[in-house]
Chain A
């Protein structure tokens, strides 16, 4: 079997790693209210999937990988993140 990894060493890009589209598992979607985000970054640090991205004005989950666990909404001190039913977005 040929070794197919695009991984070459500590300098490799994180985007080139193997990943599953774990966003497909999501039942609840975290929605950030841009006007309320106080940019403390706690969601960024506490996301177990490491999928929160910096949108300069606010932080937002990457929907390709977000599994919808709701920890970002739990840690958000400004109550800027709400969990909505994923059905609305399909």
Chain B
């Protein structure tokens, strides 16, 4: 028996290379204030539209350490390459050896200066107005996602699938004591097996698009009768949630069935070849909402299914995003704790195939959707609303739509309309938070 064990990891400063807002140098100012000499630099090259932050990447075998003639640089147990200023002679060999420009120089004392991550609380990451610099607490992240992955490694889903990623992340939190339900769609390739063979160690069931919550109701009630605390968890696409299967979901929420329903929202019927669904964005091009000389993609704004669920008797409703795993984990744990009604999680999962985006772009799209207020992150716990990731200053909508091919036909006015809709959506959630505020559990 060789279940995967949780690896030993280190916390790290994550940099989204080349994604800084033009002209921003908040991290440099913060570092200067904190450590007198800045150990981070920003590079602004408007002619090639590159704006990025540069600092030490804490390599496992640092070239600066090997190049130092006095042995002033060493790597500690936390994985931070530290500089002993007492032994540094200011020769600059480390700065030449580092091909990332990660070494700074203190011209006052003629010594090298390098990032020591402020011992796990970097001032630069705190000062960063965007999500370009983030302190990633990997150790805590791995404690949160500690269960072994219950799914097969080789599953018939597209490379770089956000839904597959969300599915695995969800069950690293939920663990083995669950029954998983899927509908006809992409997720069944991971949960339902192929032919007579299983692709997951979990008990799983595939219902029809129109009866997933109904089947879950039956199984959950039977499990409760037998005294088991095994949770019924659905991982279902937006088509079966927002359109085809909304009626039984609405019914289950109204009856207060204690089931956990996760909708992975890829904004379309992606498994059948990119057809428009209720949650498809306004203006998006799909096979059934084409764009051409007369038509401009989908003519209607997206259905707000999480809001519909919040006013439909669901005990716990939250929106989540694969680019914010800590937030997703916290909401999932709350959803599992709630037993007096239905828990509904709306997981943003861009489908790069249907959205005509590059293969490795799903995380970038997910993060931009939050930063541009296209996808507000909030939760409603028994009717009390809270925004879990406030976005004070929305980034321009072009930063989101430029990543996505199915918005390519939209002109300036269309994008403006899309941005205004996004702002209105965010303000609506803000108004709900004010009217029905969340004051702790």
A-B contact pairs, 23 of them (CB 8 A): A3-B196, A11-B1, A13-B1, A13-B2, A14-B3, A14-B149, A14-B150, A17-B200, A20-B154, A22-B156, A34-B60, A35-B60, A36-B59, A40-B10, A45-B145, A48-B164, A67-B159, A69-B160, A70-B359, A75-B14, A77-B13, A77-B14, A78-B58
Instruction: State whether A10 and B360 are in contact (beta carbons under 8 Å apart), knowing that A1-B196, A49-B155, A50-B151 are contacts in the complex.
Output: no
Interface pair A18/B57, CB less than 8 Å apart: no
Q: Is the CB of B2 within 8 A of A18?
A: no
Kindly state the separation between the CA atoms of A68 and B20 in the bound complex, as whole angstroms.
Answer: 27
A5-B193, A40-B9, A70-B359 known; A22 vs B155 contact (CB < 8 Å)? yes
Cβ of B32 < 8 Å from any Cβ of A? no
CB distance A39 to B198 under 8 Å?
no
**Interchain CB contact under 8 A, B193 and A18:** yes
- Cross-chain contact A50 with B168 (CB below 8 angstroms): yes
Give the number of chain B interface residues (Cβ < 8 Å). Answer: 63
| CB atoms of A40 and B153 under 8 A apart | no
> Which among B17, B60, B153, B325 is the interface contact of A19 at CB below 8 angstroms?
B153
Task: Show the binding face of B for A, using Cβ within 8 Å.
Answer: 1-4, 7-15, 17, 57-61, 63, 79, 100, 136, 138, 141-142, 145, 148-162, 164-165, 168-169, 176, 193-202, 325, 359-360, 362-364
A15 at the binding interface (Cβ < 8 Å)? yes
Pairwise interchain contact A73-B360, C-beta atoms closer than 8 A: yes
CA distance in complex: A46, B59 (Å): 20
> Which residues of A come within 8 Å of B, CB atoms?
1-7, 9-15, 17-23, 25-26, 34-42, 44-51, 54, 57-59, 62, 64-65, 67-71, 73-75, 77-80
Contact among B2, B8, B156 for A20, CB-based, below 8 A:
B156
A48 lies within 8 A of B197 (CB): no
Across the interface, do B197 and A4 meet the contact criterion of CB distance under 8 Å? yes
Q: Whole-angstrom distance from the CB of B324 to the nearest CB of chain A?
A: 12
B contact residues around A11 at 8 Å (CB): 1, 201
B196 to chain A, nearest CB (A): 5
Residue pair B79, A38 in contact (C-beta under 8 Å): yes
Contact B154–A65 (Cβ < 8 Å) = yes
Residues of A within 8 A of B156 (CB): 20, 22
Cα A69 to Cα B319 with chains together (Å): 26
Q: Give A57 to B8 CA distance when docked, in angstroms.
A: 10
CA distance A51 to B165 in the complex (A): 11
Q: Which residues does chain A contribute within 8 Å of B200, judged by CB atoms?
A: 17
Question: Which residue of chain B lies nearest to A2 when distances are taken between CB atoms in the complex?
Answer: B196
A42–B136 contact, CB under 8 A? yes
A19 vs B224: C-alpha distance in the bound complex, in angstroms?
A: 33
Does the CB pair A38–B201 fall under 8 Å? no
* Selected contact of A58 from candidates B2, B60, B79, B195, CB within 8 Å: B60
Residues of A with C-beta under 8 A to B158: 67
Q: Are A45 and B57 in contact, CB atoms less than 8 angstroms apart? A: no
**Given contacts A25-B159, A40-B10, A45-B141, are A18 and B152 in contact (CB under 8 A)?**
yes
A-B pairs with the 3 shortest C-beta distances? A69-B160, A67-B159, A19-B154
The answer, among B9, B100, B199, for a CB contact under 8 Å with A41, is B9
Contacting residue for A77 out of B57, B149, B362, CB 8 A: B57
Establish whether residues B151 and A38, one from each chain, have CB atoms under 8 Å apart when the complex forms. no
Q: Which residues of A contact B168 (CB under 8 A)?
A: 48, 50
- The answer to whether A48 touches B201, judged by C-beta atoms less than 8 angstroms apart, is no
Contact B4 A14 (CB under 8 A): yes
Inside 8 A of B60's CB, which chain A residues have their CB?
Answer: 34-39, 57-58
A46 touches B363 (CB 8 A): yes
Partner of A78, one of B57, B151, B193, B197: B57
Q: How far is the CB of A55 from chain B (nearest CB, A)?
A: 10
Residue of A nearest to B154 (CB): A19
Which of A4, A25, A39 has most B Cβ within 10 Å? Answer: A39
Residue of B nearest to A69 (CB): B160
- Whether the pair B176, A39 counts as a contact (CB closer than 8 A) is no
Residues in A with CB closer than 8 Å to B161 are 48, 69
* Residue from B12, B13, B79, B142 having most chain A Cβ neighbours under 10 A: B12
